[in-house]
Amino acid sequence: MKREINAFDYAGEIFKALPRGILLTSEAEDCVNAMTIGWGTIGIEWGVPIFTAYVRTSRFTYDLLERTGEFTICAPLGEPSKEAVKAIGICGSKSGRDVDKLAKAGVHLVEPEIVRPPAIKELPLTFECRVVFSQEQPIKDVSSRFKNFYVPNTAHSEPHVAYYGEILKAYIIED
């Protein structure tokens, strides 16, 4: 069962969970993938609720988002369960190009209401989003304070793309 919510009533939960990681799910051609994110924000742009997620151009999630323009944000409510911690760990350390991370994590996918990417039962706070704008963040334009996020000649030297996803539906998955 899903209980519909106002996304802004749960912004604090999102901000508390982000430093530990939350999941962004994406899907294309029946390939479902989840990626742990630690950066994101919720706000209003163009008069609609927006979740902005940041994804490196080298990530498999980037490829899926570029194809479909849809994602789901899945976060724990309060302290994450052991299952949520396991999923966040796996989805933050493996590539969806090489392994089905969600199967490895043993999570339960929940049918979405509007977008293609599913929700995840173990991370019940859910935002279904459709990209309305995206913009690459060129490394040369990033403040020198944050250059340590970009390590030359590694997989971490690619820029991020900011994906502004309109929050089309927000809910909590309940048993």
pLDDT at 16: 96
Mean pLDDT by 10 residues, the chain (175 residues): 98 96 94 95 97 94 96 96 96 91 96 98 98 91 77 70 98 94
130 Cβ neighbours under 8 A, 6+ residues apart: 69, 70, 114, 115, 165, 166, 168
pLDDT at 151: 61
pLDDT at 1: 95
Question: What is the pTM (predicted TM-score) of this model?
Answer: 0.94
pLDDT at 81: 94
What distance in Å separates the CA atoms of residue 57 and residue 64, rounded to the nearest whole number?
11
Alpha carbon 91 to its chain centroid, in Å, reads 11
The CB density around residue 41, as the number of other CB atoms within 10 Å, is 15
In order of their start, the domains of the chain are: 2-173 (2.30.110.10)
pLDDT at 35: 97
pLDDT at 24: 98
pLDDT at 64: 96
pLDDT at 152: 63
Q: Which two tokens stand for residue 123?
A: 């991370």
